Structure 1
Amino acid sequence: MNNEKIWKYINGELPEEEKASVLRWIKEKPERIAEYHRLKRDFSFSGSSDHITDESIARHYDTLLGRIQASGKKINGLFTELLKYAAVVALTFLTAYYIFSHSDQSSKDSSKVLLTQVETMAGQSSKVTLPDGTAVWLNSASSLTYAADFGQHGQREVTLQGEAFFDVTRDTLKPFKVSTSEMVVKVLGTSFNMEAYDGSDVVTTLVEGKVQINSPGGTKLSDLKPGEQITLSLATNKLEIKEVDTRYYASWKDGYIILNNVRLEDIAPKLERFYNVNMVLKNKRVKDIVINGRGLRNMPVDQLMRVLKMTYGLDYKIESSLEEITKITVY
């Protein structure tokens, strides 16, 4: 089998007819199925990565291979090659850069604006350093887009879909703007967390400094002070500002999950993104369970569920398949 096909299968890029042949190959032997599930877990629970280098790929490959060898299982040469591709996929998904062009139709000259887009897949996070030194931590299933000549023409502007924590380099001459479909945050130099997933409320939490909240059209909506959080409700189109403990909203970038009196139903969407799983809460009792605690963000999901079971008395079932993401039923 062509190694490129295996990589594209893991990456979800194969057409259906080719995907079927790779799937048949995996299903031919139980050990292939077992190792495939191991790889899927490694993709989802590998934590965060700052930069992709040959050395980091080699280290990730050695880690995956070492785990399999430690189990005492034998692997064939083809699967060894698959592990190499898996190491590349697991790392490149964390900080995948895509350069593309946008033509300006309003001008006779077809001027092009080069953009850089950084994406993270579900279950992954990544740290990005922008040209001005600003550090951005991207959470699961998020993307950040900015001009290739970022900061060179008096503006520092990025577009966010998903969740990110920003530690902005101060520059009084070049304001920093984060745009979403519903809100624009304008800062000079500050630290804040912003959530802007499709179909969800937009939430900005200020840790340090000062930010100005604007509408997409440029109308000023509010200012934020450290320790304040502003939420734009998509259902009511209203703004709410309140004081919060910022640790609960910024801890994910440091590899922790901190929960404080959060209903399981309310935190479930975030856990789904963290672990790249589908959670089904079967009844009102489990939906209303209030969760408190702190854990490692890269804790395997089966370990997390065991802790929740022992602490809150819930039960669960984990179902994995080759075709779909892992399903966790809680009851």
Structure 2
Amino acid sequence: MTMLDQKIYKYLRGTATSKEEKEVQDWIVSSDQNAERFFEIKAKYVASTLGDTDVDLDASYHGIFNTNNPTSRNRGRIPGTILKSAAVLAILVGLGFIFRDVIIDSRTAPIIPGDAIILQLENGNIEVISEGGATKVVDTEGIVLGAQQGSQLIYKNNGTSKKELIYNTLTVPYGKRFDLLLSDGTEVTLNSGTSLKYPVQFLKTKNRQVFLDGEAFFNVAKDSVNPFIVNTNELNVRVLGTKFNLSSYPEDQFVNTTLIEGSVSVYNERDTFDSSNAFLLEPGFKAEWNKNNKQILVEEADIAMHTDWLNGKIILRHVPFKNIVKKLERHYNVDIVNNNPELNDELFTASFDVESIDQVFKTFNVTYEMEYKINDRQIIIN
């Protein structure tokens, strides 16, 4: 089974991360052949869930076309695997009509730009958020759940009593930031290259939980009964009401939680929350989770360095160049190719806000002379 197939199966099971979900969706709509392949895999997956025994998905799919299959000559009780294979065929036949409809829709649907802000609804529909535009978020019953006001997407508690959580996912590309107001009044600012999965309306009987890939600043509305929990796949941050910054990009080695005011508890997402297994932060401190050794380090934080991205700034204080590359790529929406490994451990201290990427590299040249070329959005360091 290929890596792509594994992501598709995770997508179908509902266990894929928001990043993996987006990768699968982008792959599906990229070609007719990919869409057809997806429906084949989906059919096999659905069939594998029938009955009490598991079935080899690849074997069951190819088996329905194999007329020499010895089990087909068994005239006694029909084995469950054959029933499942028959189910696969039935699903594929049915999906033939669905497939044609999907292809028609995909051909007439607008192409989504790679630098667009994307809102994915619970039903899988994708909407492009135009900066400064106006978008309404509605559920399957036509009830308005939220609306865009300029650079902010606002959800309101409309008073309806939902029995189950319904999630939306907002994804912000490189080079952009966006604001989100959740239904409980919590304010979130998403940094570039960030995805946040959140309920359109929280339930009074459950904790307020969202899922973050990337970096965001949270101003959490106070609720002494229902804690607010940010899940980052490896680490949970639990609060009742406070302001903090959380950086959890998949490609970074560390997950950093920086507290501005109030208090937060940081703990391993595999653990059930308990004061004995959580680290309690005080304002002005940060908790650094090391993905390699699974350890948490709590220390005093340079608040500006972790939060000035909200003002469009990048602040570097004795930071190795290898740690700067991804930060620049996200902030300026560029691709940096470093062919000089000696540069990786060179330390830089600087602050940028209105500078172009060319001006940034000219500043680096003051500390470390380097040869580089800028071709559109690609920077090559020799």
Query: What TM-score, normalized to structure 2?
Result: 0.56
Which letter does structure 2 place at the counterpart of 1:173? V
Aligned 8 A contact 2:287 2:297 in 1: yes
Greater Cα shift, 244-253 or 195-204: 195-204
1:202 aligns with 2:222: no
Taking the aligned partners of 1:172 and 1:140, their CA distance within structure 2 comes to 31
1:100 Cα offset (Å): 1.2
Alignment of 1:1-331 (within 5 A): 14-15=30-31, 93-94=116-117, 96-101=118-123, 113-150=165-202, 152-200=204-252, 201-216=254-269, 217-219=271-273, 220-296=277-353, 299-310=355-366, 312-320=368-376, 326-331=377-382
How much has 1:89 moved relative to structure 2? 5.5
Q: CA deviation at 1:212?
A: 0.7
**Which secondary structure does the structure 2 equivalent of 1:143 belong to?**
strand
The secondary structure found in structure 2 opposite 1:185 is strand
Unaligned runs of 5+ residues in structure 2 are: 1-25, 34-109, 125-162
The answer to whether the 8 Å contact 1:132/1:151 transfers is: no
Identity across the alignment (%): 31
Preserved contact between residue 183 and residue 200 of structure 2 (Cα < 8 Å): no
Residues matched between the structures, number: 237
Deviations 1:123-142 (A, max 9, x none): 22111111222111111211
- The superposition leaves residues 182-235 of structure 1 with CA deviations (integer Å, 9 ceiling, x where unpaired) of 011111111111111224322211121110112223243211111211122111
Q: Distance in 2 between matches of 1:112 and 1:176?
A: 17
Residues 1:278 and 1:97: Cα distance change in structure 2 (over 3 Å):
same
Deviation at 1:330, TM superposition (A): 2.3
Residue pair 2:314, 2:352 contacting (<8 A) in 1 also: yes
1:290-317 CA distances to partner (integer Å, 9 max, x unpaired)? 2212111x64322322333355433311
Is the CA contact (8 Å cut-off) linking 2:165 and 2:203 kept in structure 1? no
Deviates more, 1:219-228 or 1:139-148: 219-228
Match for 1:180: what amino acid? T
Q: Distance in 2 between matches of 1:259 and 1:308?
A: 11
Match of 1:108 in 2: none
Is 1:177–1:184's contact at 8 Å kept on the other side of the alignment? yes
Cα gap change, 1:223 to 1:300, in 2 (>3 Å): same
Whether the aligned pair in 2 keeps the contact of 1:282 and 1:330 (CA below 8 Å) is: yes
Larger Rg computed on CA atoms: 2
Residue 114 of structure 1: CA displacement? 1.9
**Cα distance, 1:241–1:329 mapped onto 2, change above 3 Å:** same
Residue identity matched to 1:129: L
Q: Is the contact between residue 178 and residue 185 of structure 1 (CA under 8 Å) also seen in structure 2?
A: yes
Considering only aligned residues, what root-mean-square deviation do their CA atoms show, in Å? 2.8
Residues 2-31 of structure 1 show CA distances to partners (whole Å, capped at 9, x for unaligned) of: xxxxxxxxx9965499xxxxxxxxxxxxxx
Task: Give distance in 2, aligned partners of 1:129 and 1:254.
Answer: 18
Q: Deviations over 1:239-263 (max 9, x none)?
A: 2111121110011012111111112
What is the Cα deviation at residue 319 of structure 1?
2.6
1:36-72 deviation line (CA, Å, top 9, x unaligned): xxxxxxxxxxxxxxxxxxxxxxxxxxxxxxxxxxxxx
- Structure 1 residue 285: deviation in Å? 3.9
Asked if the contact 1:279–1:327 (Cα under 8 Å) also holds between the matched residues in 2, the reply is yes
8 Å contact from structure 2 (residues 243, 259) kept in 1: yes
Residue by residue over 1:260-279, the C-alpha shift from the partner in whole angstroms, topping out at 9 and shown as x without a partner, is: 11121121121122222222
